[in-house]
Structure 1
Amino acid sequence: MTERVTLITGASAGIGVELARVFAANGHRLALTARRADRLEALASELAAKGGKKPIVIVCDLEQADAGETIAAALAAEGVELDHLVNNAGFGVFGDAIERDRAEQLGIVDVNVRTLTDLSLRFADQLIRNKGGLLNVGSVAGFLPGPGMAVYYASKAYVISFTEALRAELAPRGVRVTVLCPGPVPTEFQARAGVGSQHDTAALKVSAADVAQEAYRGLMANKRAVLPGLGIKIVPFALRFFPRGFILAATSRFQRRRH
């Protein structure tokens, strides 16, 4: 029988690292991919030292158009196929869209949208064959427009919509599909985005480790969406009571305070 593995993208930091730890602790053999080889190898060694089989390490830049091919070839060379796929990799940049570097913003689309879509579709047949699961990492940002991080917010809106649609398509074929929508999580994301976190509401913050635990339980329970923390769970419900123009203006003010 072909060995089955869980592929986790963006596994070199933040939520990705914690997701790897949670899946490994629950007996999953892992394949980890990100750009930073040293961090991936350190994490793989850490997980192997706890008694599991050492994860497969795939060093890959998900902004590149051939990222999906690179990952698929690496998995095929190992003679494994997926029973779970975790599309965790993603990033954003702070600032008005018209003023930020266009190539950098298109890179957000490449990672957050194109590669996530590529991998979800590329490995769907394996997930179906193995009656597995797909976890896509969105954000509470995907529920509202985000002036000051326009491309990032829009990319996460896509992730939510795409994942929910795939859930409807794959459910009859025995695949669990869940979208994870965290709020502010203290990770390297803020530093890369150029966002100051001192203005983030403490009630909305949840640790990366807690996010990963909730995400795993939600996927295994076949939840449509996981919103870690009570404060975040309230956000989509509360947005229904305010006009879109009000939300847009409020988000704009909040974003400018964060910089």
Structure 2
Amino acid sequence: MTGRSARLPGAVRPVAMITGPTSGIGCGYAARLAALGYDLVLVARDEERLAALAVDLEHRFGTRSEVLPADLATAAGRDRAVARVADGVEFLVNNAGFTVSGEFWTLPPERLQAQLDVNVTAVLQLTRAALPPMIAAAKGSVVNVASVAGLVPGRGSTYSASKAYVVSFTEGLAGGLAGTGVRVQALCPGFVRTEFHERAGIEMSSLPEALWLSVDRVVADSLRDLEKGRVLSVPGVQYKAITAVAGILPRTLAARMNRGLFNARGRT
């Protein structure tokens, strides 16, 4: 672990790395961790938006931010982020991820591979790099942002599969980390009011209002569950109910229920 590991140069605050912080849950997490006294390493493709976020967080919370432009769909981008997190952070939020519109068999293979690399490969590699310094310090937290889609089958194919990986990976990892002082969580939100679906070109206007969650609610529930040692965090009573029912149904019936609640056509 190098000298800058747990702090930014000249700073005394602990450091959190957040991927995909320029909007949605990542942005909410950046603001909340800044308010809790963390300096930040902000990782995303858009350097201009990262810089604007860094200025905003410094103005609001006195937070210092290290801006790290990187495309996690590329090996070079992941290598940059991995090198930084291996230096040591106290909190890692693997938030970057995306879905795509269109049926699986119509999409370019390279687009599907990019989705897999952001949603799965980056989570694997960044978590692997973060853990040794955390374990050595006997302190640290990793939040892997998954989805209700990873718990209930039927909402698309590759996206749901990638989030199911994140859930299973995190749950398995938690057992191995018991007693180390390092906490891990799979955060499984339902539909959240963000840019996520708009960017993917998925029409969401028909979704009932009761199924929408706010970013602030998701982040608050995640942090509350982390403090309670809950490895699986499902924000919102409506989604707790849906996942609980799905968990006791045969998988074929659960998938049918999910398709009825959330149309999976035209997405993957």
TM-score between both structures, scaled by the size of structure 1? 0.91
Contact 2:154 2:264 in 1 (8 A): no
Distance in 2, matches of 1:258 and 1:212, equals: 29
Unaligned runs of at least 5 residues, structure 1: none
Which of 196, 220, 231 does residue 227 from structure 2 map onto?
220
Q: 1:142 to 1:75 in 2, by over 3 A?
A: closer
Inter-CA distance 74–167: structure 2 relative to 1 (3 Å threshold): closer
Find the counterpart in structure 2 of residue 32 from structure 1: 42
* Secondary structure at the counterpart of residue 134 of structure 2: helix
Instruction: Tell me: CA distance 1:51–1:188, structure 2 relative to 1, closer, same or farther (3 Å).
Output: closer
1:88 correspondence with 2:98:
no
- Contact 2:23/2:194, CA 8 A, preserved across alignment: yes
Tell me, yes or no, if the aligned pair for 1:6 and 1:28 is still in contact at 8 Å: yes
Q: Deviations over 1:60-116 (max 9, x none)?
A: 00001133321244568xxx6211111011101133211222211111110000010
Q: Tell me, yes or no, if the aligned pair for 1:138 and 1:181 is still in contact at 8 Å.
A: yes
Displacement of 1:141: 0.4
Q: 2:85·2:126 contact (CA, 8 Å) conserved in 1?
A: no
Of the candidates 222, 236, 239, which is equivalent to residue 243 of structure 2?
Answer: 236
What is the distance in 1 between the residues matched to 2:24 and 2:222? 14
Identify the residue that residue 183 of structure 2 maps to in structure 1: 176
Moved more, 178-187 or 48-57: 48-57
- In structure 1, C-alpha distance between the alignment counterparts of 2:265 and 2:109, rounded to whole Å: 23
TM-score by length of 2: 0.88
Structure 2 SS opposite 1:255? coil
**C-alpha distance in 2, partners of 1:18/1:109?**
24
Identical columns (%): 37
- SS of residue in 2 equivalent to 1:106: helix
**Runs of 5+ unmatched residues, structure 2:** 8-13
Is 1:204 paired with 2:204? no
User: 2:11 maps to what in 1?
Assistant: none
Q: What corresponds to 1:10 in structure 2?
A: 20
Residue 203 of structure 1: how far off its partner (Å): 2.1
Give the whole-Å Cα distance in 2 for the aligned partners of 1:205 and 1:69. Answer: 35
**Change over 3 Å in CA distance of 1:144–1:179 after alignment to 2:** same
> For residue 69 of structure 1, what is the aligned residue in structure 2?
79
